[in-house]
Structure 1
Amino acid sequence: MSRHLTSLTEADVAAVRAVVDAAEHADHVRPVDEAVELLLARGLGSGAALWLDEGGFALVRPGEPRELDLVVRPDARRAGLGAALAREVLDDGPWAAWSHGDHPGARALAARLGFRAERSLWVMRLPGDVSLPQAPSEGPTLRAFRPGEDDDELLRVNREAFAHHPEQAGLDPAGLEERMGQPWFDPAGLLVADAGGGHLVGFHWTKVHEASDDAPRHGEVYVIGVDPSAQGGGLGRRLLVAGLAHLRSVLGDDAEVVLYVESDNDPAVAMYAKFGFAHAARDTHVQYRRGPVLLGT
């Protein structure tokens, strides 16, 4: 029987991370996203709850729908633990759950539990040997983010650029401060487009991932946001080139750069492909959803 927790000790966090690391080593993809990593760093809170077993865990994040993160250690799989944890947590309300890497075991379990695939997120990769194209030099000044000065403007641009995005639009001052407190945060890697007087019209937030047992040091196009008033004039392309150039200046020209994009965002996928980014089937994350379960069905 799992332990139901709404706050985590250091030992609990270590146990969860051990499961995550083991799954990543076996499957070659991190089985949780940044939101989960931030929750673990806080020891939960924010209405989240964890069901922890020796062989795995189920994490529930509040929202509409609630989100389920379920990870089972490789040596504990195919014994019914995933289904048992899921049934311990799920109720008849609406739910969402991600399968990072579109794992076949997750696909089978989702079908058994009545979830359907609703959304697909692609990882696209840019090899280090691809030359960067030229971008227009005219337009707003591109400079490094100034913490404490640019916060409100950055959040405004983010809010307007991602008004219909289910996750990114929710970034608030607390979320920005939390991310700026992470070890990977570097103001020089958050490039902003300043139209004058500190009025921002876009940004490219990059991230450097340090080497691990499962991946070499590499870069990420974390977020690119362009104010709707400045869209259509090539600013997004200019920000992308500038961010990639920054990553190569930090990592070297041979380092890989990754990004995440909705699979049905055809304009964005086409733009990234022109830059040399490519997608492989294994680099697919799938969101499953289950609507309210009607009693008696």
Structure 2
Amino acid sequence: MSDDDVLALVTRVREACTAAGENDPLDEAAVLALEHRGLDGVRAWTPSSAGESTGGPTGEGFALRRDTELDLAVAPADRGAGVGAGLAAQALAEPGPLTAWSHGDHPAARALAERHGLARARELWVMRRPASEPLPPVEVPDGLTVRGFHAAPGPQADTDRDAVLAVNAAAFAHHPEQGSLDAHGFVERTAEPWWDPSGLILAHDEEGLAGFHWTKQHSPQLGEVYVVGIAPRAQGRGLGRLLTLAGLHHLHERGVGEVHLYVESDNHAAVHTYSRLGFTHAAADTHVQYRRA
């Protein structure tokens, strides 16, 4: 298949999964990489290629491997016939370190992981909060200013961007995905349809940017606590709760019916903060990363 054919197949499978009420099988980083760089640096397998090599079944599905990261998905209508097993056999044949996400903790993904020696390594929770629940007010202490990102392109916006990237790098220095955000990634995200400068909320003190809350509005009904980053020097002052509240007020003012967020299941401090603000987690809202050493 040509690159264009593979990309079209990936789109069809993603649409089939979400139409069936499932999570998108690709995370944001994978989607942005395909949008901006296509299949550059990606090895791709499709059911037709896997079937030709192994004599296995064919259908709608894909496996994409970039460095040590694997994404694999099969359209709901084509599951149960060995399509996923054939793709996994191809994509996992090469030994070495590898990670793969199951967006929804699917039993089939669990079985494939066990078969190929991938261990359950991380759990990412989705927590949700209905906008119908009232919010406490935002109380900004003396010495702190809270505002949106500078909307107009120019030196002020560049200063805001650089400050956000610096705080993000420090706050998420040990986070495998968020900590790698750079200027190029920032530009990619601000080119997305959901980008709203007023939804990137900044808190400044006398030393500069102390923290930020980047919100998303996916649709008129759904908002997201996208990233809350606090500078290490400003931690322990309640800024995480303050900025989360400011972002929730921003999203509620735009009429969303629900706000969700993603949080590592073992980040007990963050889970506690979000729970106190009315967020809850259901077992089905769990994403699992599998890892092969």
Taking structure 1 as the reference length, the TM-score comes to 0.88
Matched letter for residue 126 of structure 2: V
Structure 1 counterpart of 2:248, from 244, 249, 259:
244
TM-superposed CA distance for 1:152, in Å, is 1.0
Provide the identity percentage. Answer: 51
Matched letter for residue 218 of structure 1: L
- The answer on whether the counterparts of 1:13 and 1:43 sit within 8 Å (CA) in structure 2 is no
Which residue in the other structure is 2:279 paired with? Answer: 277
Which residue in the other structure is 2:53 paired with? Answer: none
Correspondence 1:207 to 2:211: no
Correspondence 1:155 to 2:149: no
TM-superposed CA distance for 1:27, in Å, is 4.7
Structure 2 counterpart of 1:70, from 45, 69, 72:
72
Matched letter for residue 52 of structure 1: T
Which residue in the other structure is 1:227 paired with? Answer: 231
- The answer on whether the counterparts of 2:140 and 2:146 sit within 8 Å (CA) in structure 1 is no
Q: Which one has the bigger helix percentage?
A: 2
TM-superposed CA distance for 1:194, in Å, is 1.9
C-alpha separation in 1, matches of 2:9 and 2:95? 29
SS of 1:148 mapped into structure 2? helix
Which residue in the other structure is 1:264 paired with? Answer: 266
Which residue in the other structure is 2:88 paired with? Answer: 86
SS of 1:28 mapped into structure 2? coil
- The answer on whether the counterparts of 1:204 and 1:225 sit within 8 Å (CA) in structure 2 is yes
TM-superposed CA distance for 1:133, in Å, is 2.0
TM-superposed CA distance for 1:149, in Å, is 2.7
Correspondence 1:40 to 2:34: yes
Which residue in the other structure is 1:116 paired with? Answer: 119
C-alpha separation in 2, matches of 1:31 and 1:178? 20
Structure 2 counterpart of 1:165, from 162, 172, 175:
175
Structure 2 counterpart of 1:185, from 185, 188, 195:
195
Which residue in the other structure is 2:61 paired with? Answer: 56
- The answer on whether the counterparts of 2:9 and 2:62 sit within 8 Å (CA) in structure 1 is no
Q: CA offsets per residue over residues 224-258 of structure 1, 9 Å max, x none?
A: 00001001111111101100000011125xx1000
> Which 5+ residue runs of structure 1 have no aligned equivalent?
212-216, 292-297
- The answer on whether the counterparts of 2:9 and 2:60 sit within 8 Å (CA) in structure 1 is no
TM-superposed CA distance for 1:45, in Å, is 5.0
TM-superposed CA distance for 1:92, in Å, is 0.9
CA RMSD of aligned residues (A): 1.7
Matched letter for residue 286 of structure 2: T
TM-superposed CA distance for 1:43, in Å, is 4.4
- The answer on whether the counterparts of 1:121 and 1:263 sit within 8 Å (CA) in structure 2 is yes
